[in-house]
Chains A and B, each alone.
Chain A
């Protein structure tokens, strides 16, 4: 079996076990929709006091938010359980992956398929199409292409970041705290345009933890907000490159981490 076949076989098995919790599926869909509505509500309440946040109008902010959620849902569908790596390590489940004659990465990734994330995807697509009409956007073929690439790049950046953090558990035994930090980062960087924050913060989310490339920079390009006279305009196109770099970095850290792994038993 090649890697892909193995992956889909594993997904199939996990879906079968998930079928036990059918009521949970409905609750899960509703839960995610409520979660998204609340997030947009929080932005909306602030905006009703004004017409805009710096240069961003309400529908531009909706677009910004939904671009993140769309990328995130793509990540979440296939990879959301990377956040559970520490449980695998602490409980010793990870030993199973190493003992079986297949790539541990494929086995970890194939462990679950988070189908409730479909709710996120639908929510985001609705939001983006509403914003598209309200803002009177007319993308040409090239922009549509970039939109698709940006969403995939966003998903890849989220995945790479989460895997990197999961890898810290190989050293520290725990990664939950790190995930909390990243989630809080998302709560700020992905909801608000980062130009409202200070320069140090912008440098961090661009260079160190490149979460601004998940939605902010591509949104600048897609919403025609790029200022071509400024020195950093090319950042709007950079997210696919960042995604590729992140994958390379993550893959090498992962291989290094695995070699270091010693079981906790259990």
Chain B
């Protein structure tokens, strides 16, 4: 736990230095919440019944999605790994008396915790005040939202770790990351909820791990997913978490042996 706080403190200090940058990030979140609301209002104006849920629910889904999004983009473990390899500093990380996977998790979680309190919770409050965000359907749904969002964060961390490990093979992460980012944007239900996906796309979304990141917590919060449907969704999340943790650890072990450090 001490390690986590150390990293959270570090990221706080960096943010204090670059205050302007911080405010811009906050304004981005507000801007996104504002505009996603307009997109849905414009779409609902044409045919209110087309999306299966009420406009209030849809706005809540969209605004909340924009508010919590930073949780998944906070640290960027794939960029960290590839940058360390490029500069050669990865040697130092590997020499540290700390398992690399745990080290990365600590860094990421530290940053995530910090972001949670300084950006995400204030953003959610702004959502309630200005952007038509509604409270969760029941208090249990609110609680489950928090739990599933945490699991979602852990899944996204492991996806990033896996991507970073792969970047050791390709020696470059940016272009893979673009494709990955795009897939995540589509299949996590970040902009368009998964239940609107037609045919093959819907099946694909159900088979990929991205839905567990955001669609599950958001659907629970808005009451689209309720009762007996909640438990299987959480089980699926846990399955993805376990599978990705095992795969990424295994792959890291194999790749680590053959690391090519570029600088130094």
Which residues of A line the B interface, CB within 8 A?
21, 23-24, 27-28, 30-32, 34-35, 37-39, 41-42, 45-46, 48-50, 52-54, 116, 168, 171-178, 180-181, 184-185, 188, 192, 196-198, 201
Contact = CB atoms under 8 A, between A and B. Distances in A.
B47 to A, nearest CB: 6
A50 B43 contact: yes
B183 interface: yes
Given A41-B201, A42-B186, A49-B51, A34 B18 contact: no
B217 to A, nearest CB: 20
Contact of B28 (A31, A172, A173, A181): A181
Contacts of B42: 53-54, 196-197
Contacts of A41: 186, 201
Contacts of A178: 21, 24
Contacts of B118: none
A227 to B, nearest CB: 18
Contacts of B246: none
Contacts of A174: 18, 20-21
A201 B35 contact: yes
Majority secondary structure of chain A interface residues (helix, strand, loop or mixed): helix
A85 to B, nearest CB: 13
B153 to A, nearest CB: 19
A181 B31 contact: yes
Nearest to B26: A177
Contact of A21 (B27, B35, B172, B178): B172
Contacts of B182: 31, 34-35, 37-39
A42 B192 contact: yes
A49 B196 contact: yes
Nearest to B36: A188
Nearest to A37: B182
Contacts of A21: 170-172
A177 B171 contact: no
A185 B32 CA distance: 8
A24 B82 CA distance: 13
6 contacts: A38-B186, A52-B46, A178-B21, A180-B28, A181-B24, A196-B39
B25 interface: yes
B160 to A, nearest CB: 16
A24 B175 contact: yes
Nearest to A196: B42
B127 to A, nearest CB: 16
A254 B38 CA distance: 36
Contact of A177 (B21, B43, B197): B21
B135 to A, nearest CB: 25
A262 to B, nearest CB: 16
Contact of A32 (B31, B35, B38, B178): B178
A141 B20 CA distance: 47
Contacts of A198: 38
Nearest to B18: A174
B128 interface: no
A120 to B, nearest CB: 11
A35 to B, nearest CB: 4
A196 B186 contact: no
B22 interface: yes
Given A50-B43, A177-B25, A198-B38, A45 B20 contact: no
B185 interface: yes
A45 B198 contact: yes
Given A45-B196, A49-B47, A180-B28, A31 B179 contact: yes
Nearest to B46: A50
B191 interface: yes
B50 interface: yes
A79 to B, nearest CB: 16
Contacts of B28: 177, 180-181, 184
Contacts of B174: 28
B17 interface: yes
A140 B40 CA distance: 37
A35 B170 contact: no
B197 A45 contact: yes
B34 interface: yes
A27 B183 contact: no
Nearest to A185: B31
Contacts of A37: 182
Contacts of A185: 31
A46 B43 contact: yes
Nearest to B43: A46
B176 A31 contact: yes
Given A192-B39, A201-B34, A50 B27 contact: no
Given A24-B171, A49-B51, A184-B28, 5 more contacts: A24-B170, A54-B42, A175-B21, A196-B38, A198-B38
